[in-house]
Amino acid sequence: PLLNAYQAKIKGDIETAIGAYQTQISRNAYNPYPHYLLGRLYLLTEDENAAFAEFKKAEVKTELASGLDFAELHLALGSLYKKQKNWDDYLKHYDQAFKLSTQNLVILTQLKQEFSTLENKARLRNVQKHLTKLQASLKEKDSKTKQGSPNS
């Protein structure tokens, strides 16, 4: 059903995609990902209320099984809270996204951009520190890989 939902989404068949995600939700009652993906689909249709509801359902499921928590969910919730001008929950979710993604270059870059708009620069400095460390680590790994390759 996830593949069916994706294929329907690509074809622009939103109703079929929604149905496929709902089928996946019913088959995997404890999995937060189908709720997150359905929420993303609702964002594409500009139905922020439905998206928010699905993201909140996904959040509940991640609270029941912390190993299933993921940064993208918190970025999505944080973004919606920001639009609602709910600053406390906006920051709470972006902080959680940071905790879950200290080794994720893409998300750290997103958080750097987001936190650069805040007056208090402590969050920005913390993200920048992790981003710099991760970039150095990746550069070092890349250098070692090139040194060990047969073409070097």
Share of the chain above pLDDT 90, in %: 76
Element housing 52 (H / E): helix 48-64
Higher pLDDT: 46 or 146? It is 46
Q: What is the pLDDT of residues 6-24, one digit of tens each?
A: 899 889 899 999 999 999 9
Distance (Å, whole) CA 61 – CA 34: 11
The whole-angstrom separation of Cα 31 and Cα 123 is: 30
Residue 151 has pLDDT above 80, yes or no: no
pLDDT at 65: 84
What is the C-alpha to C-alpha distance for residues 29 and 26, in angstroms, rounded to an integer? 6
**CA-based torsion, 103, 107, 109, 111: positive or negative:** negative
Question: Could you tell me where the DSSP H helices lie in 65-121?
Answer: 71-83, 87-100, 105-115
pLDDT of 26 reads: 94
